[in-house]
Every structure is written in structure tokens, then in C-alpha cells.
Amino acid sequence: MNSTSRGGLYHALNNLLIFTVFVCQGCAAFAIAPLATTVMVGATAGQAFLAYKTFQTSTGGSLQIKFKDVKIPKSDQEAFKAINRLAVLPGNSTNVKIAEKLTRKESLRIITPNQVLNIIREDNRSIDQLTEEETIERLQDWAAKLKADAIIVFEEKVGAGGFNMNFWSFKRGEMKNEIVLKIFCAKTNHFILDQPGEVVFEVGTNNPPQGEIQELVAVSVVDKLMEYLRQS
């Protein structure tokens, strides 16, 4: 795991110390266009991300989910086959939505962020300035207590790309968020998936509700994860 990826994970784990149960409450309903398109695009030279899903938002804009083309080693593909009981690490409302959608998959038994949070609260050890080895040790310990085969670590950096608007064209304002989907496997004691992604949305009449963005991101993350599980 490189220092940048490791730093993002440490930040996400550190945030769990101030995480509260309100993120596990239900979110208000909102209108989402029912049509989502899946676009599998061949990688080209210099292309950082591949378009995965494109949605129309309720405010007249569009939202696109992109993922990097990640190659899974054969040994880790085998590890995916053993995943039955899967825990979702707390983070924000997107993590909750991911857990809700995975719960509907009959092939998986899901441990919700709220259930994971109960284990984390019992852990009084400090997680500030963890080394890579200490981070792995902590995840291994949580997986053992939860009797989980694997743990989802979903990270989201809102507004990573800032606000990008070309005032000299008719192109709408564009926003970008960075996301990453990681799977820690208890059996192999390492991450068998480190899937970076990007959320790009063009503003319509106004910015779409945060809950709508989280819903669409969760749909895409779960679909991507299920692809890996089916391929194993």
C-alpha cells in the first residue's frame, strides 16, 4: 500500500473515533431518474479512469461514476470466493446505503456499519498515527470479533476536484469527488481490493441533494463489488 493510500485509510480510521450513530438513521426519500447506463470503455493511453455508470439527476444534471481498471492477482481472486460474511466499516451515509443494498444480496451475510461501530467503541486503543502493520492488525482484530470474512473500507473525499466551470462555453459547472473501495480479507490478512474511483457530476438547475449523490454512488459501488465476487 503506498503512502498516499495509507494516509487516506488512516484518516478514515481516525474519523471513527468521532463517528456517531446518527449516520445510521434513515435518509429522506428523493426523486432519482430510473434509467442508469453502464458504459464499459476500453482503456487508452493516459486514461486514468474508465466510465462505469451515468445517471441523470433530479435537478437536470448528470452524474458519472468512474473506476480505474484494477487487475486482481489470482491468489486474491481465490480469496474472494471465500467471502460470505462481509462487514461494512462506518464512515458516512454512503457506507450505510452500501450495507443496505448488500443486505439484499442472498449470497452475502452483511454486518452493518452500526454493528461494526459497537465493536469499535469497545476498542479503547488509540488509532492515531498508525503504521501500516498496526492498521492491518486493527482490521484483523475487528474481523475476528465480528466473525467476518472480510471488511469493506469505503472512503470518500468530497470536492476533491473543486468546482470547475468553463465560463467561455456552454458546458455546465462540474464537480468531482474521489472515492476508493477497499476489501480487507481476514484469511489473507491484507487488502485483496484497492479500487480507486471518481464521481463527476454536471450541475443542472442547482446542485443535486447530497442524499441523491450518495444513493447513486452506493448503487455503483455495490454493482462493482458484485462483479468482483461473480468473477471469482
The mean pLDDT value for 145-173 works out to 68
> SS in 3 state form for 67-96?
ECCCCCCHHHHHHHHCCCEEEECCCCHHHH
**Residue 215: CB atoms within 10 Å:** 22
> Rounded distance, CA 95 to CA 74, Å?
28
pLDDT of 141 strictly over 90: yes
pLDDT attached to residue 21: 32
Domain ranges of the chain: 3-231
pLDDT at 225 over 60: yes
- Residues whose CB falls within 8 Å of the CB of residue 229, separated by 6 or more in sequence, listed in order: 80, 83, 107, 108
DSSP for 149-201, written as a single string: SEEEEEEEETTTT-EE--TTSSPPPEEEEEEEEEEEETTTTEEEEEEEEEEEE
pLDDT greater than 60 at residue 213: yes
